Amino acid sequence: MLAVDGKTLRGSADGDAPPVQRVSAFSTELGRVLGQEKVAGKSNEITAIPELLEALHIKGLLVSIDAMGCQREIAARIVRAHWAIENRLHWMLNVCFGEDDCMIRKDHAPQNLSLLKKIVLNLIRADKTDTAKTSLRLKRKRAARDDDIRMKMLGNHPL
């Protein structure tokens, strides 16, 4: 199932400039982010969701979306494992990566950092080399501190 939902990068607000908003497509079964789209300046998720869906090949997939995306045009393109995007993506980004507390605001930095955090989350979740039952937050910190662990996660370890 593919869950689609928007998230505001709250710390990216700068003076009169509103915070950056992103819409993400999240595979609830794989626990992976499959795509994201920036919400235009004076717009909302409703305009970004069709663009994200257009970029993905979703034919034959079950898609869930929250009430914000329940518009006729969007519903015509897609279809309750939807909470996985809230629990397994947005919550993880806030708790493990401190995304809502991030005060980075300059140029494209908020969007770029958001994308990098999602890439790292995907890499950590895909890692099968660490068999210890530890939290994603601890795995992220261990990889940040240890070159060997990080290289294993990236698949660049000696056999």
pLDDT digits 0-9 by tens, 68-79: 666 777 666 657
Domain for residue 142, yes or no? Answer: no
Domain for residue 141, yes or no? Answer: no
Whole-model pTM over 0.85 = no
Domain for residue 75, yes or no? Answer: yes
| Pair of tokens at residue 63 | 């898609």
Domain for residue 12, yes or no? Answer: yes
Domain for residue 30, yes or no? Answer: yes
pLDDT of residue 83: 66
| Pair of tokens at residue 101 | 């507390």
Q: What's the domain count of the chain?
A: 1
Residue pLDDT, tens place only, 16-43: 888 889 999 999 888 999 999 998 877 7
| Sheet containing strand 32-38, strands side by side | 32-38, 20-27, 2-9, 63-65
Domain for residue 29, yes or no? Answer: yes
Task: Spell out the alpha helix ranges (H) of the chain.
Answer: 45-55, 72-77, 83-84, 91-95, 109-126, 136-145, 147-153
How does DSSP classify residue 62?
A: -
Residue pLDDT, tens place only, 122-136: 888 888 877 778 888
- The residue range of the domain holding 6 is 2-103
